[in-house]
Amino acid sequence: MGELPAEVGAPAPDGRLRPFSVYLHVPYCRVRCGYCDFNTYTNLTMGDGASASDYVSTLAGELRLARARMEEAGLPIRPAETVFVGGGTPTMLPPEDLSRMIGLVRETFGLVDGAEVTTEANPETVDERGLATLAEGGFTRVSFGMQSAVPHVLRTLDRTHRPERVPQVVEWARRAGLSQSVDLIYGTPGESMEDWARSLDAAIEIGPDHVSAYALVIEEGTKMWTQVRHGELPMPEDDDEATKYEMADAALAAVGYEWYEISNWARPGFECRHNEAYWRDWDWWGAGPGAHSHLGDVRTWNTKHPVAWAAQIGQGRLAVAGHEVIDAESRELERVMLGIRLREGMKLASFPRVGEDDGEPGRTPRHLVPVVAQLVADGLLDGAAAAAGRAVLTLRGRLMADTVTRALARIVD
């Protein structure tokens, strides 16, 4: 009925007030890439408040409703520490519209001083003046979808930008005072080791502040999934992707980038704070069709289709399509799964004890010691860090993070 679940008003089990972030989803794309399973649409004129031309007005309605419903639920209204505009391709909208969206967040929730404000961008949908307009409108950071520097790899991914466009737009962003990130994908069918090395070299030569590198995952229902099923493309191989990850880590580390999360490297001080918000269990509101929100122990998700989403907002109802309450066991599992991905890892003393004889508070629980010792022996956890009371992944451990999570989660269970 357009209201938040009652459980969002429950106090956090640990009693702390989590920081707050905002995610804004822009569902429009020029072309839908074959590997993409995000909530995106190539029709920019869907009408009824769901077209690109009136999208920001509908988004404004959702943000106003969100604040009102949070207040009704007894949630404290906190200024956003980070804002991330994703998609889709946000830069399918004019830069003035994107700046308006940040103004809406400021008006609705407020922004802390020094807030990180990011937009994703396709290199072919921005120009120098537009990037300057984004900086003037409150953006501090832009993340470009580079994916590869090799034309045949881009064609397989259905990416339409020219490789030579990426260094140009990064330089424009730099001149505008925006922090820059580039996203890479490795493991594309037909991508050789030489192709991947070429992409890494190109990214390093461009010299952005931040680099993300993700293994290609072919999701069921995508165009690429169909191509693989029909034998038109091979499925990515785990060993190939592992080798390419190791190449990326070595190449980036050699020129001063530090990994701070399994798939992300940055020059010191340029880590993506919004992504860290997800890994560190902050609260956030996700606005737009299909966007997800996280408030305390409750997750909600919006109606996916833009027309249906806009209709609900137009009727004065939040477009919340469903929700789930995260129980204590699931929350602990997520804490392990997300926390272990970070460079600093996790305090071993933070794991729950199973009985009165399970060691002193502030120390590694006794039942944890043999499991951690085995993970160290297997080369998955750093031995020196474990001796100092932290679970920190090695390079091999990063490649097998799911294995580490399962081993630690068995303790939690």
Domain spans, the chain: 6-280, 327-412
pLDDT in tens, 12-61: 666 678 899 999 999 999 988 888 889 899 999 998 899 999 999 999 99
User: What does pLDDT average to over the chain?
Assistant: 93
- The whole-angstrom separation of Cα 212 and Cα 34 is 20
Sheet holding 283-287, edge to edge: 258-261, 264-266, 210-215, 179-186, 141-147, 111-121, 80-87, 20-26, 283-287, 292-295, 298-302, 320-325
pLDDT surpasses 70 at 131: yes
Pick the residue with more confidence: 363 or 180? 180
Report residue 10's pLDDT band, with 50, 70 and 90 as the boundaries: low
Segment 287-299 shows an average pLDDT of: 94
pLDDT surpasses 70 at 356: no
pTM of the model: 0.94
What is the sign, positive or negative, of the torsion defined by CA atoms of 400, 401, 404, 409? negative
Instruction: Give the orientation angle of helix 55-72 with respect to helix 306-314, to 10 degrees.
Output: 60
Least confident of 34-38, 123-127, 288-292, 375-379: 34-38
pLDDT in tens, 90-113: 999 999 999 999 999 999 999 999
Q: What integer pLDDT is reported at residue 386 of this predicted model?
A: 94
pLDDT in tens, 138-197: 999 999 999 999 999 999 999 989 999 999 999 999 999 999 999 999 999 999 999 999
Say if residues 175 and 133 touch (Cβ distance below 8 Å).
Answer: no
Q: Which CATH number fits domain 6-280: 3.30.930.10, 3.30.1360.200, 3.40.50.300, 3.20.20.70?
A: 3.20.20.70
Q: What integer pLDDT is reported at residue 331 of this predicted model?
A: 84
Q: What integer pLDDT is reported at residue 411 of this predicted model?
A: 61
